[in-house]
């Protein structure tokens, strides 16, 4: 890249990392050079992820942003490990959602879909999709998502339709799909049946109405209902067989008030005798329990509520009323009759349409169902036996529990936008199910065929995503190479709707699981702990966050929020990411500008070089272990602390001494290593913060990092001795700094100190004399008597006597405090080691550690006591 990042002017002047321009430039380059695209390559292992396809009506929200960051980290990470990584991207045609959006648009033009007719309407939806359907894909790019955009798929594209049709026909031929007249969840507003999973229960206030039904031949029975209007569809009354209050009336006939319909009184165990009056009105056409009881007892069904949500002709005088109005009228009329015995407040949960919020009307209609019994067993087994793993694990148990209780899936929708069922009817009502339009009825040969108008549930097609996107039903090279995918990352809200069904379909049609791992990410709530939602006004637009802080910062912050539990959105974490990107950028500026002309080369000559290399290896190990178990917070945390606390705060400061020094050979060695180290860091960090790392790598000619390798784990680069040595150096500098702060010694004042202690420590400190000068503003001497008014600073391996300008009385008080603290530690340690049970039963390492601690506290105490005695005496 030449502009504007060529030469050192750019580095010199850019003291802050400015994401906006950098991001756009890099995304363009990655795309122009096809760096995200993968083709099957037998020489490399495949790593594949399919994105949960967002709805074409969707815009990027915080959940996507987190999920896509996770997938991008994994994709970039594995790509740099040398795997052939393909992150497959695409969109979902989203039946109801999309149809609703286009209908709303038509309404603004004063049109309904009926005005246009089906064909024209569907054409309008395609048009809408061409114009707006790609929005979310463009938004993905803002985040830096390295999807294989050249493979973009759509759940309604040509090849996908073939896959859906093939699956439907195959399942029909196997007898898993059938048509039935059954009680389904009907949304009167959307005008379609929906599946159980698309029903949301919401707590609402309501009333429990006790209604008296007279019994033919004398007596009465009182039932209780929350929906009085459904009595218009009653065909029976049921009581529990063991309920002694009602044994006498079972078998008799009750009379439905208002309509006069005769109702059988039946006994059924599904009635709860403790609820209400113990007598249950039976409306087989509008309640699932009633429907089942009706089937058992051969009861008539009366449809009192129509698909438009209004009372039908069966409701006599109430016909044509909306249910709410009907409820009011029925209640009033019952009251007038004296049949309404009691009305009590009764809050209960109401079934509503998950998509539009309208109360669901259970009613009987002709629908297509998929029987899950055969499909669910293998799909449950693979999770039970660990072939497919869930992270966090608990979602696997949730999945299994749900699978164990599966009921048939209602897959037909009375919509216009979607995969039309490949089913044709002849005038005699025979069915012909075929992949391509048949010429004649398979049963009677009639050529007058009409196609089923229903379309499939959107989730039917989504279930095929992991294999249909790689070319199935064709046996393509892509499919052979990239399937099964490695991991599916998604939110927990679609475990049942989508994940479960992909596993079932993958096993059925590919005879293989669709993915090895399922990673369920956290739900990001609004900062106040409420749901992020547009209607509540609690949503935060990730694009705004990117605009404000940059994509790297947004990714970093989101990864910090990728917990195993729900978390609140935290602006501070994003700001932390921004600060980190800036810190990294500035560290890179320092290294690159301060070592110009030197070539990157790892060195193990200097202790400090071996130390930072070793610390890097530990960070690398931590990152690899964290990513392997999808613990992105731990990965990012390890990177942050290594880069900031160790690389920037210590390494960079430590190498300033040789770098600004006169020893040219030493300087060359340190400079080379610093450049090498920076390159290692940037490679390790790239999957997490792709933009800033590319921008840095560009400055020394290593870009694009997308083509580079991940740093290599190497046990031989670990250096425990050097870590210990530098650790002690850090502790000594810290002690001096603490002393300076406590004694309020001005930063500019240079202190002189005499070291007394063991020889090894003396040698080490002498070697790092420059470090003490630079980082603690203290010059060290290793011989001679300390002055009598010197202050003692305890450091590893001995004591520093600092010629200090502080009050003797204050110094005595300070030492007394330190002594008291040391004494307390000694006593604690002695008590612990004097405890036979502790010494006898605690692990040896714990006891040893305790002994070492005690010894060091004893030494510290004795040193302080001696010093105190000297001060008091002098």
Partner RNA sequence: GGGCGAUUAGCUCAGGGGUAGAGCACCUGCCUUACAAGCAGGGAGUCGCUGGUUCAAAUCCAGCAUCGCCCACCA
Indicate which single residue of 575, 752, 806, 833 sits in contact with RNA (rule: CB under 7 A): 575
Residue 489 found at the interface with RNA (CB under 7 A):
no
Residue 440 found at the interface with RNA (CB under 7 A):
no
Residue 531 found at the interface with RNA (CB under 7 A):
yes
Q: Which is nearer to RNA, 342 or 853 (CB)?
A: 853
Indicate which single residue of 275, 663, 767, 852 sits in contact with RNA (rule: CB under 7 A): 275
State the nearest-atom distance from the C-beta of 356 to RNA, in Å.
Answer: 17
Indicate which single residue of 319, 382, 648, 806 sits in contact with RNA (rule: CB under 7 A): 648
Sheet holding 778-781, edge to edge: 778-781, 751-757, 798-802, 791-795
Q: What are phi and psi of 569, to 5 degrees?
A: -60, 135
Indicate which single residue of 578, 768, 861, 867 sits in contact with RNA (rule: CB under 7 A): 578
Q: Which of residues 225-244 bind RNA (CB under 7 A)?
A: 225-227
For 108, 351, 623, 839, the CA distances from 356, given in Å and listed in that order, are 19, 12, 43, 67
State the nearest-atom distance from the C-beta of 568 to RNA, in Å.
Answer: 3
**Which residues have C-beta within 8 Å of that of residue 863, sequence separation ≥ 6?**
792, 794, 799
Indicate which single residue of 51, 223, 263, 532 sits in contact with RNA (rule: CB under 7 A): 223
Instruction: Single out the segment in contact with RNA by CB under 7 A; choices: 159-167, 393-401, 477-485, 661-669.
Output: 393-401
Can you tell me the distance from the alpha carbon of 391 to that of 424, in angstroms, rounded to the nearest whole number?
44
Residue 583 found at the interface with RNA (CB under 7 A):
yes
148-154 and 348-353 as β-strands: parallel, antiparallel, unpaired? unpaired
Q: Which of residues 763-822 bind RNA (CB under 7 A)?
A: none
Indicate which single residue of 24, 123, 750, 846 sits in contact with RNA (rule: CB under 7 A): 846
Instruction: Single out the segment in contact with RNA by CB under 7 A; choices: 194-202, 330-338, 467-475, 694-702.
Output: 194-202
Indicate which single residue of 491, 594, 704, 770 sits in contact with RNA (rule: CB under 7 A): 594
At 233, which helix (H) or strand (E)? none
State the nearest-atom distance from the C-beta of 326 to RNA, in Å.
Answer: 15
State the nearest-atom distance from the C-beta of 499 to RNA, in Å.
Answer: 13
Q: Over 623-655, what HEC string results?
A: HHHHHHCCCHHHHHHHHHHHHHHHHHHHHHHHH
For 194, 415, 461, 549, 800, the CA distances from 163, given in Å and listed in that order, are 23, 20, 8, 43, 78
Work out the burial of residue 747: count CB atoms within 10 Å of its CB; fewer than 13 is exposed, 13-18 middle, 19 or more buried.
Answer: exposed
The SS3 call for residue 23 is: helix
CB count in 10 Å sphere of residue 344: 10
Q: Which is nearer to RNA, 452 or 825 (CB)?
A: 825
State the nearest-atom distance from the C-beta of 436 to RNA, in Å.
Answer: 36
Indicate which single residue of 17, 121, 168, 417 sits in contact with RNA (rule: CB under 7 A): 17
Indicate which single residue of 247, 835, 848, 870 sits in contact with RNA (rule: CB under 7 A): 835
Residue 10 found at the interface with RNA (CB under 7 A):
no
Instruction: Single out the segment in contact with RNA by CB under 7 A; choices: 23-31, 314-322, 423-431, 832-840.
Output: 832-840
Cβ atoms of 238 and 268 closer than 8 Å:
yes
Residue 649 found at the interface with RNA (CB under 7 A):
yes
Instruction: Give all strands (DSSP E) within 76-120, no chain letters.
Output: 84-91
Q: List, as own/partner pairs, every contact residues 635-641 make where C-beta atoms lie below 8 angstroms and the sequence separation is at least 24, other chains included.
A: 635/559, 635/688, 636/556, 636/559, 636/560, 636/688, 637/560, 639/684, 639/685, 639/688, 640/576, 640/580
List residues bridging with 340 in a β-sheet. 211
177-187 and 361-370 as β-strands: parallel, antiparallel, unpaired? antiparallel
Q: Which is nearer to RNA, 157 or 624 (CB)?
A: 624
Q: Which is nearer to RNA, 97 or 733 (CB)?
A: 733
Residue 245 found at the interface with RNA (CB under 7 A):
no
Indicate which single residue of 352, 380, 633, 680 sits in contact with RNA (rule: CB under 7 A): 633
Structure tokens at 612: 């930072």
Residue 295 found at the interface with RNA (CB under 7 A):
no
Structure tokens at 175: 């007898």
Can you tell me the distance from the alpha carbon of 670 to that of 657, in angstroms, rounded to the nearest whole number?
10
State the nearest-atom distance from the C-beta of 527 to RNA, in Å.
Answer: 7
Residue 401 found at the interface with RNA (CB under 7 A):
yes
State the nearest-atom distance from the C-beta of 46 to RNA, in Å.
Answer: 31
Instruction: Single out the segment in contact with RNA by CB under 7 A; choices: 24-32, 446-454, 570-578, 799-807.
Output: 570-578
State the nearest-atom distance from the C-beta of 831 to RNA, in Å.
Answer: 11
Instruction: Single out the segment in contact with RNA by CB under 7 A; choices: 24-32, 380-388, 499-507, 560-568.
Output: 560-568
Q: What are phi and psi of 605, to 5 degrees?
A: -75, -50
Can you tell me the distance from the alpha carbon of 819 to that of 815, in angstroms, rounded to the nearest whole number?
6
Residue 402 found at the interface with RNA (CB under 7 A):
yes
């Amino acid at each position: 890249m030449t502009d504007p990042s060529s030469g050192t002017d750019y580095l010199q002047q850019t003291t802050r990392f400015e994401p906006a321009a950098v991001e756009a430039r890099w995304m363009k380059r990655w795309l122009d050079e096809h760096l995200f695209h993968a083709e099957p390559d037998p020489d490399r292992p495949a790593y594949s992820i399919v994105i949960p396809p967002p709805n074409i009506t969707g815009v990027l929200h915080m959940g996507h942003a987190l999920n896509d960051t996770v997938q991008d980290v994994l994709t970039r990470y594995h790509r740099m490990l040398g795997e052939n990584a393909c992150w497959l991207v695409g969109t979902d045609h989203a039946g109801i959602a999309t149809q609703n959006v286009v209908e709303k648009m038509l309404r603004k033009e004063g049109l309904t879909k009926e005005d246009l007719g089906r064909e024209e309407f569907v054409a309008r939806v395609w048009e809408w999709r061409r114009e707006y359907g790609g929005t979310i894909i463009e938004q993905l790019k803002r985040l830096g998502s390295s999807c294989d955009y050249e493979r973009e798929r759509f759940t309604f594209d040509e090849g996908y339709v073939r896959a859906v049709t093939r699956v439907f026909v195959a399942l029909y031929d196997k007898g898993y799909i059938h048509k039935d007249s059954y009680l389904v969840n009907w949304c009167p507003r959307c005008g379609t049946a929906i599946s159980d999973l698309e029903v949301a229960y919401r707590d609402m206030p309501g009333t429990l109405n006790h209604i008296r039904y007279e019994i033919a031949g004398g007596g009465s029975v009182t039932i209780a209902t929350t929906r009085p209007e459904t009595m218009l569809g009653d065909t029976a009354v049921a009581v529990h067989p063991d309920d002694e209050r009602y044994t006498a009336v079972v078998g008799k006939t009750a009379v439905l008030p208002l309509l006069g319909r005769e109702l059988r009184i039946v006994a059924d165990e599904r009635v709860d005798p403790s609820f209400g009056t113990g007598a249950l009105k039976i409306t087989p056409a509008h309640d699932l329990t009633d429907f089942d009881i009706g089937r058992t007892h051969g009861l008539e069904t009366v449809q009192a509520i129509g698909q438009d949500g209004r009372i039908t002709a069966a409701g006599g005088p109430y016909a044509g009323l909306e249910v709410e109005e009907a409820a009011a009228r029925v209640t009033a009329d019952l009251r007038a009759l004296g049949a309404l015995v009691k009305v009590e407040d009764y809050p209960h949960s109401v079934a509503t349409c998950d998509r539009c919020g309208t109360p669901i009307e259970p009613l009987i209609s002709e629908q297509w169902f998929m029987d899950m019994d055969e499909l669910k067993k293998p799909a449950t087994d693979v999770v039970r036996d660990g072939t497919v793993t869930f992270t966090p694990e608990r979602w696997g148990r949730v999945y299994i529990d749900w699978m164990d209780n599966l009921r048939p899936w209602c897959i037909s929708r009375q919509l216009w936008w979607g995969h039309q069922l490949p089913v044709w009817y002849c005038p005699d009502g025979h069915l012909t199910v075929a992949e391509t339009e048949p010429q004649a009825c398979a049963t009677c040969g009639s050529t007058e065929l009409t196609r089923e108008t229903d379309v499939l549930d959107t989730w039917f097609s989504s279930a095929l995503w992991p294999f249909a996107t790689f070319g199935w039903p064709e046996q393509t090279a892509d499919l052979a190479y990239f399937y099964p995918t490695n991991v599916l990352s998604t939110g927990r809200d679609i475990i049942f709707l989508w994940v479960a069904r992909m596993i079932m379909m993958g096993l059925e049609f590919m005879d293989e699981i669709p993915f090895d791992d399922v990673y369920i990410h956290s739900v990001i709530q609004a900062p106040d702990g409420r749901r992020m939602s547009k209607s509540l006004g609690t949503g935060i637009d990730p694009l705004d966050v990117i605009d404000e802080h940059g994509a790297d910062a947004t990714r970093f912050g989101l990864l910090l929020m990728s917990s195993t539990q729900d978390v609140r959105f935290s602006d501070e974490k994003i700001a932390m990411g921004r600060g980190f990107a800036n810190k990294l950028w500035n560290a890179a500026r320092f290294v690159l500008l301060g070592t110009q002309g030197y070539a990157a080369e790892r060195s193990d000559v200097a202790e400090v070089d071996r130390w930072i290399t070793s610390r890097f290896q530990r960070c690398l190990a931590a990152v690899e272990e964290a990513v392997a178990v999808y613990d992105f917070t731990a990965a990012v945390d390890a990177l942050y602390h290594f880069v900031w606390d160790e690389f920037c705060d210590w390494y960079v400061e430590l190498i300033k001494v040789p770098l600004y020094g006169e020893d040219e050979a030493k300087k060359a060695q340190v400079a080379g290593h610093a450049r090498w180290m920076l390159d290692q860091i940037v490679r390790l960090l790239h999957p997490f913060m792709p933009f800033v790392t590319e921008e840095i790598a560009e400055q020394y000619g290593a870009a694009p990092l997308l083509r580079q390798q991940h740093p290599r784990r190497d046990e031989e680069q670990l250096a425990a001795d050097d870590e210990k040595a530098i650790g002690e150096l850090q502790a000594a500098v810290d002690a001096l700094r603490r002393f300076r702060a406590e004694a309020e010694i001005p930063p500019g004042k240079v202190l002189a100190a005499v070291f007394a202690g063991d020889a090894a420590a003396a040698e080490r400190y002498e070697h790092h004399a420059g470090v003490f000068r630079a980082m603690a503003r203290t010059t060290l001497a290793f011989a001679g008597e300390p002055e009598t008014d010197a202050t003692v600073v305890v450091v590893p391996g001995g004591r520093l006597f600092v010629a200090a300008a502080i009050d003797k009385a204050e110094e005595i008080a300070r030492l007394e405090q330190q002594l008291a603290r040391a004494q307390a530690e000694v006593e604690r340690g002695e008590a612990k080691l004097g405890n036979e049970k502790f010494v006898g039963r605690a692990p040896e390492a714990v006891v040893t550690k305790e002994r070492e601690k005690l010894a060091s506290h004893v030494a510290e105490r004795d040193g302080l006591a001696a010093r105190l005695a000297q001060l008091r005496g002098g």
